[in-house]
Amino acid sequence: MNCSEELAQGPRVLLVDDSAANLLALQAVLSSLEVSTVAFRSGKEALTCVELQSFAVAIVDVQMPEMDGFELTKRLHLTKHGRELPVLLVTAIHRDEAFERKGYASGAADYITKPYDPEIIRTRVKAFIDLYRQRDAIRRR
List pLDDT tens digits, range 120-131: 999 999 999 999
* pLDDT-derived band at 10, boundaries 50, 70, 90: confident
For residues 26 and 6, what is the distance between their CA atoms, to the nearest angstrom? 21
List pLDDT tens digits, range 20-69: 999 999 999 999 998 999 999 999 999 999 999 999 999 999 999 999 99
Q: Do 128 and 109 form a contact (C-beta atoms < 8 A)?
A: yes
Q: Do 114 and 95 form a contact (C-beta atoms < 8 A)?
A: no
**pLDDT over 70 at 5, yes or no:** no
Task: Determine the CATH number of domain 12-136.
Answer: 3.40.50.2300
Please provide the average confidence, as pLDDT, over all residues in the chain: 91
**pLDDT over 70 at 87, yes or no:** yes
For residues 65 and 87, what is the distance between their CA atoms, to the nearest angstrom? 18
For residues 67 and 84, what is the distance between their CA atoms, to the nearest angstrom? 21
Q: pTM for the full model?
A: 0.92
Residue 28: CB atoms within 10 A of its CB come to 11
